[in-house]
Chains A and B, each alone.
Chain A
Amino acid sequence: MLEIARRFRRDGLNPVEHVRHILKEAHDDKLNVFISIDDEGALASAEKAEQRIRNGDEGTLLGIPIAVKDNICTKGIRTTCASNILSNFVPPYDAHVVERLKQRGCVIIGKTNMDEFAMGSTTATSNIGPSRNPWNIDKTPGGSSGGSAAAVAAGLCAGALGSDTGGSIRQPASFCGVTGLKPTYGSVSRFGLVAFASSLDQIGPIARTAMDVAVLYDAIKGYDPKDSTSVNKDYKVTSLDELDLKGLKIGIPPMFFGEGLNHEVEKAVREGISIFKELGAEVVEVKLPHIKYGVAVYYIVATAEASSNLARYDGVRYGWREENSRDLVDMYASTRSRGFNDEVKRRIMLGTYALSAGYYDQYYEKASRVRTLIIEDFKEAFKACDIIAGPTTPTPPFGIYDMLDDPLSLYLLDIYTVPANLAGLPALSIPCGFTTSGLPIGMQLMAPAFGEDLLLGAGITFQAHTSFHEERP
């Protein structure tokens, strides 16, 4: 991304030509990455950007082609959440982050594929079918922001926005060999992000390098009065310089290297950690005694919130509606049973159950209490270390249809990513190696709330001394 910005000014790369080229590639794409492509809008903003660049405007993001996950609202461009129920929905407003990117002169290429309503980790539940991993088209790019991560890896955009509720930025970033950041809860406005689980959702950037991610993060972060959960504080510009890692304490929770971790992944991540050591960091063991309940807590909280958040898709005001219904109840029932796929319905039912009279205390209430314990675990751990490192996912990318009939095993793969969402902490996934068959592996770094500087600094430093992020599919 920074590279393209430089070429716009030094190498005579023309922003309009570049975007035209990207659009052509996007239309020829075999990876099923885009749900919508906005040729007209993209070319119009590229032309404006070209003008500004010619007038000497140094804005880094001017003319930079960006892809946006299809659960982030874009004014005048269909925003479907990969769902039949929103297949015709065109928002009359931009999400706050989209507004911010447009102000910076970004070119929005199109809307990327995802799991329906971001519920999944493969994009296989999308109503347009799964996206494919650019490193091996039989493998999943991960999800739910699989389209965004694959688009970045395949060079169909310079950077992308995803959303992360339980790992949906980090896991696909890891599977596609790119860098992805789940920011601190409250640092990026959720206004215009179609809600899945409001207390966990965060929008974040995906790009090739930590530096590019930092630039995009700077563009989208900050207080937004339209989101009551966005935090009003001083947001400094993230430094793009290398960090002096001498004395940096990296915490390793043994649980992150426990049962179920693929040995190739373990090897690559351990090697990644030793690179940090060589750069001067110290490694300490930290205990996170309650994160073993993370997945269980996550699937109660997330589904409970989702069951309520998705109630508005009832066919009354917008979106798809079953027209041949007998009465009101029938309209609700058939609109929702035909509008949503199985996974979304499964989660709505789970969440509805968890909130039901007589079960609330046992499930939602209890999960909320364990969530507090997990938050406390991290507070305690960060007394002993500056960042926590481990694998982003327990396995390398798997086959597109491998896990379709086994939702429970699929849920368990979220084990390393959900704690950051439950605790509202920032977490970064960076490429740290490849399997013998050439599939990317990612390492996750976590920091205390608003510790993005540290995370990105560590990522930038790591990438200054490694070349995993430079590999191309």
Chain B
Amino acid sequence: MDYDVVIGLEVHIQLLTDTKIFCGCLTKFGDAPNTNVCPVCLGMPGVLPVLNEKVVDFGIKLGLATNSTISERNIFARKNYFYPDLPKGYQITQYDYPLCKKGFLEIDVDGGSKRIGITRIHMEEDAGKLIHDEKEDYSYVDFNRSGVPLLEIVSEPDMSSTKEAVAYLKELRQIVMYLGICDGNMEQGSFRCDANISVKPKGSSTYGIRTELKNMNSFRNVQNALEYEISRHVELIEQGKQVEQETRLWDAGLGVTRTMRTKEESHDYRYFPEPDLIPLIVDSVWIERVKKTLPELPREKRHRFAKDYGIPMYDAEVLTQQRDVADYFEACLKFIDAPKDVSNWIMTEVLRVLKEESIDITKFNVTPEMLANMIALIKKGVISGKIAKGVFEEMHRTGKAAYIIVEEKGLLQITDEGVLREKAKAILDSHPKEVKSYKDGKVQLLGFFVGQLMKETRGKANPKLANKVIKGLLEE
């Protein structure tokens, strides 16, 4: 039998505000445990939350970027449950009145596009972190993360394959990074994803029973977990068994999902309006102010790059992956009108160096102008593409302009036919055997002679000219 897959995703993103959502503590990651804490984020008696409005700005940003309706009247709510990393015994979140509603994202899959609905986006606070030491029979709690602002983005169950789910996540992650509201780090948990998934016979109008998946901290894990879960559901259905509604954990090591809690064990969170915070009113002035700070979004940029610069969609995708890289690309084009050449250099050399040395492109030694000027030297035939690679490394190492490096190192391409002919003659003279073989029909030896000439000129010979000269001499 064929099946339809129904997937909805809940994503939590940690916001890049300087301070926490309800107190003035820093949100810095990686500091010594319990150093970025105060009575408010420790839930001490008598203290009160005060909303950091930057969090609202960030929420509005994401709402606008996902075509959502921004709610005028916002009410915070308490979600009550006990856990040692939750200092107040409740989490301040939004329940009936989220900040954003009824949005959508366009994703590009299999050459087409699909619209994925976003049910809601709301603001909430993160909890602390438990640290277990296997040698001890107790655990530690680090509250540095307690009160770090989060946005929760809940999608409609609009995804019908793992591919679409991953595409949605990638799109969303790219957007939040473009907006500068989240660093998108999945391993460190600043971009976390839970999935709701169900399977039904193809075309059936009633949904299957869904399970919720947690603990997938990479795109690969999401993909594998969803695929595993789909086949688990299908298998159960084919065996005539029932899928249990439950929450399951993905075990990346074993490649399986396991029951975390059943429906009976699920919490009653006893939501009610947070009496310590007054309703938050977001008026049109506030929304307009945030709107002005919105950058071009990744998908828009991607399609514009492909269309306006005539580069392949693949190139556009790679270049727009990060906003700074896209900006770098466009900055280069101010100095040279050669989109495909610039794209090639960025996709191969620039991104490789950045990755190898984990540098940020905004702090890269080779400025867009320098890269453009170097490409211009290639296009004018001053240096060869091969030489250029060395020049590029040198620019990165020293910060010197390409033409200076070329001059200092004497890397100018040899385009004087006479000079090349002299050198070529000498090479042919010293390889009589090979010349004979060539003349006897082994024409593939041409490459050998050109190679010798390149070696002799330390790569500076204009490759086209070198070919022509050698061929000419051999055929004389």
Contact = CB atoms under 8 A, between A and B. Distances in A.
B264 interface: no
A311 B48 contact: no
Interface string A225-243: 1111100000000000000
B270 A91 contact: no
Interface string B44-79: 111111110000000000000000000000000010
Contacts of A312: 43-45, 87-89
A86 B84 CA distance: 18
Contacts of A81: 45
A194 B47 CA distance: 8
B268 A311 contact: no
Interface stretch (A168-176, A276-284, A354-362, A384-392): A354-362
A232 to B, nearest CB: 11
B448 interface: no
Contact of A305 (B43, B82, B275, B277): B275
Nearest to A358: B268
B270 A308 contact: yes
Given A228-B278, A308-B80, A314-B89, A193 B46 contact: yes
Contacts of B78: 308
B297 interface: no
B50 A352 contact: no
Interface string B157-188: 00000000000000000000000000000000
Interface in A178-237: 190-195, 197-199, 225-229
Contacts of B268: 356-357
Contacts of A89: 45
Contacts of B89: 308, 310-312, 314
A315 to B, nearest CB: 9
Contact of B272 (A193, A229, A310, A364): A364
A73 interface: yes
B390 to A, nearest CB: 60
B278 A91 contact: no
A331 B68 CA distance: 44
A332 interface: yes
Contact of B46 (A191, A197, A364): A191
A357 B272 CA distance: 11
Interface string A398-437: 0000000000000000000000000000000000000000
A293 interface: no
Interface in B19-50: 39, 42-50
A227 B141 contact: no
Interface in A338-388: 352, 355-357, 360, 364
B44 A199 contact: no
A314 B82 CA distance: 8
A177 to B, nearest CB: 30
A141 B273 CA distance: 35
A304 B272 contact: yes
B276 interface: yes
Interface in B227-275: 268, 270-272, 275
A79 B47 CA distance: 13
Which residue of A199, A316, A332, A355 has the most chain B CB atoms within 10 A of its CB atom? A316
Given A92-B39, A311-B80, A317-B87, A228 B272 contact: no
B454 to A, nearest CB: 72
A228 B277 contact: yes
A316 B141 contact: yes
A89 B78 CA distance: 25
Nearest to B81: A311
Given A308-B270, A312-B89, A355-B270, A228 B141 contact: no
A457 to B, nearest CB: 29
Interface string A296-323: 0000000011011011101011100000
B90 interface: yes
Contacts of B84: 314, 316, 328
A275 B83 CA distance: 58
A308 B82 contact: no
Contacts of B271: 355, 360
A91 to B, nearest CB: 7
A356 B45 contact: no
A199 B278 CA distance: 10
Contacts of A310: 89
A295 interface: no
B276 to A, nearest CB: 5
Nearest to B51: A228
A307 B89 CA distance: 10
Contacts of B48: 190-191, 226-229
A332 B89 CA distance: 11
A274 B19 CA distance: 58
A86 B45 contact: yes
A193 B276 CA distance: 12
Which residue of B78, B84, B270 has the most chain A CB atoms within 10 A of its CB atom? B270
Contacts of A318: 44
B127 to A, nearest CB: 12
A227 B43 CA distance: 15
Given A228-B277, A332-B82, A73 B90 contact: no
A199 B46 contact: no
Interface string A53-80: 0000000000000000001110000010
A308 B90 contact: yes
A311 B275 contact: no
B272 to A, nearest CB: 6
Contacts of A460: none
A95 interface: yes
Contact of A192 (B46, B87, B278): B46
A95 B276 CA distance: 16
Contacts of A317: 42-44, 87, 141
B112 to A, nearest CB: 42
Kindly list the 4 A-B residue pairs having the minimum CB-CB distance in the complex, ordered from nearest: A311-B89, A198-B275, A355-B270, A199-B275
Interface of B: 39, 42-51, 78, 80, 82, 84, 87-90, 141, 268, 270-272, 275-278
Interface of A: 71-73, 79, 81, 86, 89, 91-93, 95, 190-195, 197-199, 225-229, 304-305, 307-308, 310-312, 314, 316-318, 328, 332, 352, 355-357, 360, 364
Given A308-B78, A308-B89, A312-B87, 20 more contacts: A73-B45, A73-B46, A91-B46, A93-B39, A93-B44, A95-B46, A191-B46, A192-B46, A195-B46, A228-B48, A228-B50, A229-B48, A229-B278, A307-B80, A311-B89, A314-B84, A314-B89, A316-B84, A357-B270, A364-B272
11 contacts: A73-B46, A89-B45, A191-B47, A191-B48, A229-B48, A229-B276, A307-B80, A312-B89, A314-B82, A317-B44, A364-B272
